[in-house]
Amino acid sequence: MIDKDLLEILACPLTKQPLREATAAEVAAWNARIKAGGLKNAAGKPAEPFDAALVRQDGKVVYAIRDRIPVLLPDEGIAV
């Protein structure tokens, strides 16, 4: 879980849209697609499963949270 104060200042590194925490159901669905080979990151590499994520406001891109740290690198965004 991301601190609410931190979440308020985080934004997509590309569009600057606000981010929200993904639900457990969303994470499970995306991880299933990742395991099936269906999701890649912006760099074109296969995405790796994650325990939590931040979702861009428009819902088109997610950023994994790894070891409680949001990975907000443009190449790590996963188009969903």
What does 2-54 look like in DSSP terms, one character per residue? --HHHHHH-B-TTT--BEEEPPHHHHHHHHHHHHTT--BBTTSSBP---SEEE
Mean pLDDT for 64-69 is: 94
Residue 64 has pLDDT above 80, yes or no: yes
Q: What is the pLDDT of residue 11?
A: 97
Q: What is the pLDDT of residues 14-48, one digit of tens each?
A: 999 999 999 999 999 999 999 999 999 999 999 99
Q: What is the pLDDT of residue 31?
A: 97
Q: What is the pLDDT of residue 1?
A: 76
Q: What is the pLDDT of residue 44?
A: 96
Q: What is the pLDDT of residue 28?
A: 98
Number of domains in the chain: 1
Range of the structural domain that residue 53 is part of? 4-79
